[in-house]
Chain A
Amino acid sequence: MTNDNEYEPIKKVSIIVSRGSLDGIYPGLIMANGARMEGIEASLFFTFFGLHAVIEKKMDNIKVATVGNPAMCVPSAMGPGLPTWMGALPGMSWFATGMMKKEIEKLDIPPIREFLEMIHDAGGEIFACKATVEMFHLAKADFCKQVDDIISVGQFYEKSAGAQIIFT
């Protein structure tokens, strides 16, 4: 990072992950990991369907949304758009997910489980949203072991003191 401007460098980020699709989860993880790589403190707060990224039984089966995703193109980003009805065909999400995972691996971006381990080992904190945990009838035991705590919105703001909050 070049500090050739007058602004104070970012010291801490709190990243909220609210969506449970592959494309909803990865940006937050990449930003959290990137922050730690730069020596910036980072915490991740998973809420609503974003929680799927840290649920032990769900985290290895996260998929790309092929329905309701007008940017979905085949066979690659610059290809023609995938008609919405085709996105609903059985196996389409599975197929798109497989394609994207291959590209992700090529860039040396780890699968979600490994990525969370990496971020946690790097000192990033990982939290689950209390309101969602209650709404989904979940308990601490349902989460992967990197989840440090289940916290309320109030606690989230307390922990985010001095941080930039990023909502994804």
Chain B
Amino acid sequence: MTIKELIARTIELDSDGHLKNMNDWDESLANALAFEEQIFELTPDHWKVINYMRNEFKTKGDAPSIRKLTKESGIDTKTLYALFPKGPAKKAAKIAGLPKPKGCI
């Protein structure tokens, strides 16, 4: 467990760097979390992915598979990996304030 100082408030993260408390999330925090992942600007395409993941999580209780994400968010696989180069599943979920996805695909 680490506690990091982000955007002038204290946010608790788990050992993987995901938010401990999902209610801490807001758009400015997403920008800060992205910055931590060396994504220095969240483009409209990043937001498409983040918003889609958050909606999926709200209804299903888990982040979507990459396949579902690329089919339904309008962001194709190549773009997705370009947006989140260090692993789209983990990084996008982290920035979206969600726990690490449980699925294998």
Identify the A interface with B (CB < 8 A). Answer: 1-4, 30, 33-34, 36-40, 107-110, 114, 117-118, 121-123
Q: A37-B88, A39-B86 are in contact. Are A109 and B105 (CB under 8 A)?
A: yes
Shortest Cβ distance from residue B34 to the other chain A in the assembled complex, whole angstroms: 15
Interface flags for B61-105 (1: CB within 8 Å of A; 0: not) read 000011110100000111011000111111100000000000111
Name B82's closest neighbour in chain A (CB-CB). A123
Residues from chain A with a CB closer than 8 A to the CB of B23 are none
10 cross-chain pairs, A with B, having the tightest CB-CB distances, nearest first: A39-B87, A121-B77, A39-B86, A37-B89, A121-B78, A108-B65, A38-B87, A122-B81, A109-B105, A108-B67
Q: A2-B16, A108-B65, A108-B68 are in contact. Are A36 and B81 (CB under 8 A)?
A: yes
Residues from chain B with a CB closer than 8 A to the CB of A123 are 81
Residues from chain B with a CB closer than 8 A to the CB of A107 are 104-105
Shortest Cβ distance from residue A84 to the other chain B in the assembled complex, whole angstroms: 31
Determine if B10 is an interface residue (Cβ-Cβ < 8 Å). no
Determine if B15 is an interface residue (Cβ-Cβ < 8 Å). yes
Size category of the B interface is 20 to 34
Query: Contact between B77 and A37 (Cβ–Cβ < 8 Å)?
Result: no
**A148 vs B68: C-alpha distance when bound (angstroms):** 26
Name B101's closest neighbour in chain A (CB-CB). A37
**A28 vs B90: C-alpha distance when bound (angstroms):** 21
**A123 vs B66: C-alpha distance when bound (angstroms):** 14
30 residue pairs A–B, Cβ–Cβ below 8 Å = A1-B90, A2-B16, A3-B16, A4-B15, A30-B104, A34-B104, A34-B105, A36-B81, A37-B66, A37-B88, A38-B87, A39-B85, A39-B90, A40-B87, A107-B105, A108-B67, A108-B68, A108-B103, A108-B105, A110-B105, A117-B77, A118-B66, A118-B70, A118-B77, A121-B76, A121-B78, A122-B77, A122-B78, A122-B80, A122-B81
Shortest Cβ distance from residue B91 to the other chain A in the assembled complex, whole angstroms: 7
Residues from chain B with a CB closer than 8 A to the CB of A38 are 87, 89-90
Shortest Cβ distance from residue B66 to the other chain A in the assembled complex, whole angstroms: 6
Interface flags for B29-70 (1: CB within 8 Å of A; 0: not) read 000000000000000000000000000000000000111101
**A38 vs B90: C-alpha distance when bound (angstroms):** 6
Residues from chain A with a CB closer than 8 A to the CB of B85 are 39
